[in-house]
């Protein structure tokens, strides 16, 4: 384990129970007593009790207080923990103290993690209401997008902290995402000015040293409006194994019985296997159960009729992109063209999990298979909405549609519910894909690429069922060599019918006949990207 990075420490008796309360960082102003759960604030050399903190719900994270690691060659220790709730679930942030006395946060972000460093906010930073989801934001000349603006509240805290929002009181949390580049990641800086530059252009904010356009890695700027001025931080994506963590929870001694409960609908045993699960389905009655408040909380459920059977079974292990993944969740989703509400199409999404890499999505649509994941940054959307630019590549708009979750199976790191609706746009550049999904409070980009069905079959050892997985694979469109005679006959009859309709319309007299055929077509039968549920705030 890395040595304690603190330059000096302070200890004082808890005003609630007299047990010692430790402060390893000079920047920590609040703490939660590990014995009586008193919330205390540091006032010089004394501690003042300001209330009692709620018990943490067990999210079964491998992280814990005093776990240590290394960030860019500098040791750090996790000394505090915050648990937040928002409309779609919960997330956790860990407060870290580095060897030089500085601090950072290790936060959950769309099934992965972000390492964020504090930024000093200016007094004239606009209020949360000025940030409209989907609007652009100028920061030192670099475009950011307003990714989310929602009401959140603190559920529980642990350890020592530099900032402690009032528990149970809602406040605004705004999140901005930058377009990614190939420069060096941003270093801690300070916000030095802000101004409104129009509702269409969004909000312009100046950023101080170390966060200029020359350093344009994908970043997440968070603004916590629980205090005035807001508490700000700038983060970037990180993988847990890159932090060289030690002192983690020993998975072999987990109390797995604490992850089991009885289904609130049918009473059957349900076992939660993923630490980040917010929703899970009952294996007996297929009810969709909300576990975002922890196993001990009141469990909400929704019945699901007409079960859908996934082609790749839950629990299946597969190798994709050089990494081992397990299928832990499955969704069936429906799309509707806004210009033609009678036209529906469907596609399916498999949620894949790796302990160190987090989550990705394997998407199955009539256009083929694709692998996608939420982007840390935000692509730049053209003013006419017909294209988007990301990491130096230009993507053209393929289709726009409204999406809805119709069925779910397994475990999910966000709160899944049937009927969840979003507005989607899909963009493509050859085999590379971008998907934009937006709700009233959140905007999420996902990025990925198409893969052929043979790769999917091989990855999950389903070669014997390869015909079931075949789609319009990457490459020129061609007839499948295994296509049945019956299918060819059906296609031929449909083409003949279409030819008859065209012939009739071309020969009719518009003055005496209705020449409209009533026929409409769609260039694609499904979506290759977006996922509202996968784009959860945390």
pLDDT value at residue 395: 95
Is the distance from CB of 392 to CB of 183 less than 8 angstroms?
no
pLDDT, one tens digit per residue, over 40-76 is 766 656 665 656 655 555 555 678 888 999 999 999 9
Q: Is the dihedral of CA 322, 326, 328, 331 positive or negative?
A: positive
Structure tokens at 449: 């690429």
pLDDT value at residue 497: 57
Is the preceding peptide bond at 229 cis, omega within 30 degrees of 0? yes
- Tell me the pLDDT band of 347, cut-offs 50, 70 and 90: very high
pLDDT value at residue 17: 72
Is the model more confident about 335 or about 112?
335
Q: Which residue has the tokens 């004394």?
A: 46
CA 397 – CA 166 distance, rounded (Å)? 44
pLDDT, one tens digit per residue, over 442-455 is 888 899 999 999 99
pLDDT value at residue 361: 94
Is the model more confident about 228 or about 111?
228
Nearest to 192 by CA among 103, 102, 115, 119: 119
DSSP track, 394-416: EEEEEEEEEEEEEEEEEEESS--
* Least confident piece of the model among 156-170, 261-275, 407-421, 500-514: 500-514
Percent pLDDT > 90 in the chain is 27
Compute the mean pLDDT over every residue in the chain, rounded to the nearest whole number.
Answer: 74
CA 223 – CA 175 distance, rounded (Å)? 6
pLDDT value at residue 442: 84
pLDDT value at residue 378: 83
- Tell me the pLDDT band of 337, cut-offs 50, 70 and 90: confident
Nearest to 224 by CA among 214, 234, 216, 215: 234
Nearest to 161 by CA among 220, 105, 89, 99: 105
Q: Is the dihedral of CA 411, 415, 417, 419 positive or negative?
A: negative
pLDDT value at residue 5: 47
Global pTM value? 0.66
């Amino acid at each position: 384990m890395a040595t304690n990075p603190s330059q000096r420490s302070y200890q004082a008796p808890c005003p609630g129970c007299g047990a010692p309360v430790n402060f390893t960082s000079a920047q920590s102003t609040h703490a939660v007593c590990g014995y009586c759960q008193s919330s205390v604030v540091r006032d010089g050399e004394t501690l003042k009790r300001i209330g009692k903190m709620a018990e943490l719900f067990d999210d079964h994270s491998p992280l814990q207080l005093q776990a240590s690691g290394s960030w860019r060659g500098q040791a750090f220790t996790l000394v505090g923990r915050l648990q937040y709730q928002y409309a779609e679930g919960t997330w956790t942030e860990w407060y870290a103290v580095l060897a030089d006395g500085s601090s950072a946060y290790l936060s959950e972000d769309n099934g992965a993690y972000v390492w964020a460093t504090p930024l000093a906010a200016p007094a004239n930073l606009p209020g949360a209401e000025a940030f409209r989801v989907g609007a652009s934001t100028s920061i030192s000349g670099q475009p950011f997008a307003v990714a989310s603006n929602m009401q959140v509240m603190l559920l529980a805290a642990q350890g020592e902290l530099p900032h402690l929002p009032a528990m149970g009181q809602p406040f605004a949390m705004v999140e901005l995402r930058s377009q990614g580049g190939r420069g060096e990641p941003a270093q801690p800086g300070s916000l030095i000015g802000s101004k409104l530059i129009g509702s269409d252009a969004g909000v312009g904010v100046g950023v101080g040293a170390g966060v200029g356009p020359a350093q344009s890695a994908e970043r997440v700027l968070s603004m916590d409006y629980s205090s005035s001025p807001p508490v700000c931080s700038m983060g970037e994506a990180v993988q847990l194994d890159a932090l060289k963590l030690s002192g983690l929870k020993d998975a072999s001694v987990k109390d797995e019985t604490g992850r089991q409960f009885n289904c609130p609908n049918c009473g059957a045993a349900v076992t939660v296997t993923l630490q980040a699960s917010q929703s899970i389905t009952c294996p007996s009655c297929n009810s969709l159960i909300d576990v975002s408040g922890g196993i001990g909380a009141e469990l909400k459920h929704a019945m699901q009729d007409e079960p859908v059977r996934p082609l790749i079974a839950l629990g299946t292990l597969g190798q994709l992109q050089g990494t081992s993944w397990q299928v832990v969740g499955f969704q069936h989703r429906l799309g509707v063209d806004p210009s033609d509400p009678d036209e529906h199409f469907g596609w399916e999404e498999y949620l894949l999990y790796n302990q160190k890499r987090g989550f990705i999505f394997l998407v199955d649509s009539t256009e083929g298979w694709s692998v996608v994941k939420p982007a840390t940054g935000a692509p730049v959307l053209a003013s006419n909405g017909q294209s988007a630019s990301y990491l130096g590549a230009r993507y053209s708009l393929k289709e726009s549609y409204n999406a809805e979750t119709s069925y779910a199976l397994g475990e999910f790191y966000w709160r899944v519910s049937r009927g969840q609706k979003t507005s989607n746009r899909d963009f493509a550049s050859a085999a590379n894909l971008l998907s934009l999904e937006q709700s009233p409070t959140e905007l999420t980009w996902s990025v990925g690429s198409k893969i052929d069905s043979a790769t999917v079959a091989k990855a999950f050892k389903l070669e014997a069922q390869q015909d079931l997985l075949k789609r319009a694979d990457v490459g020129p469109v061609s007839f499948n060599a295994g296509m049945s005679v019956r299918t060819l006959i059906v296609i031929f009859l449909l083409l003949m019918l279409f030819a008859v309709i065209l012939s009739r319309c071309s020969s009719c007299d518009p003055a005496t006949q209705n020449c409209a055929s009533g026929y409409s077509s769609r260039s694609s039968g499904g979506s290759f990207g977006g996922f509202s549920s996968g784009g959860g705030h945390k």
